[in-house]
Amino acid sequence: MAYTYKYPRPALTVDAAVFRKTGIGFEILLIQRDNPPFEGGWALPGGFVDMDETLEDAIIRELQEETSLTNIMLKQLRAFSTPGRDPRGHTISVIFWGIQDSKQEATAGDDARNVKWYSINHLPELAFDHTDVIEFAIRKINLK
């Protein structure tokens, strides 16, 4: 069913901040983007919410498609909505977080060129506003 509205609306995405504990602290899983914007850059796994899909279903799907991770208990953290955070247009992202407690290996898939665990103390330059998102998550969850 198609709808036409008089006024433009923002797009809706979901992103996952998945952490794991190591002997020297916490790491976060990032993907290397395979598509513009920020092609080749590092970002949280995530993507657009499909029509007739819940936020929870969308984040489970995106995390599995981009990293192959499943059965991660994810909790909603916060929505990020600053205009300009995505060069494609006004995009609101609902962030979920979780802790990987299994030995499940992450592998890149879908539109992720690569996946890598990074120390939360040594992050690469990140796409979108994901540095702010991760810093907020670390503070809120008390990982430092």
Convert the pLDDT of each residue in 15-31 to its tens digit.
999 999 999 999 999 99
The per-residue b/e assignment along 44-76, b for 16 or more CB within 10 angstroms, e otherwise, is bbbbebeeeeebeebbbbbbbebbbbeebebee
The CATH code of domain 11-141 reads 3.90.79.10
Residue reference for tokens 């996946």: 115
Rounded to whole angstroms, how far apart are CA atoms 89 and 5?
17
Tens digit of each residue's pLDDT (9 = 90 or more) over 53-101: 999 999 999 999 999 999 999 999 999 999 999 999 999 999 999 999 8
**pLDDT score, position 80:** 98
**pLDDT score, position 144:** 74
Confidence of residue 103 (pLDDT cuts 50, 70, 90): confident
Residue 17 corresponds to which amino acid? A
**pLDDT score, position 1:** 58
Query: Where exactly are the structural domains of the chain?
Result: 11-141
Asked if residues 26 and 120 have their Cβ atoms less than 8 Å apart, the reply is: yes
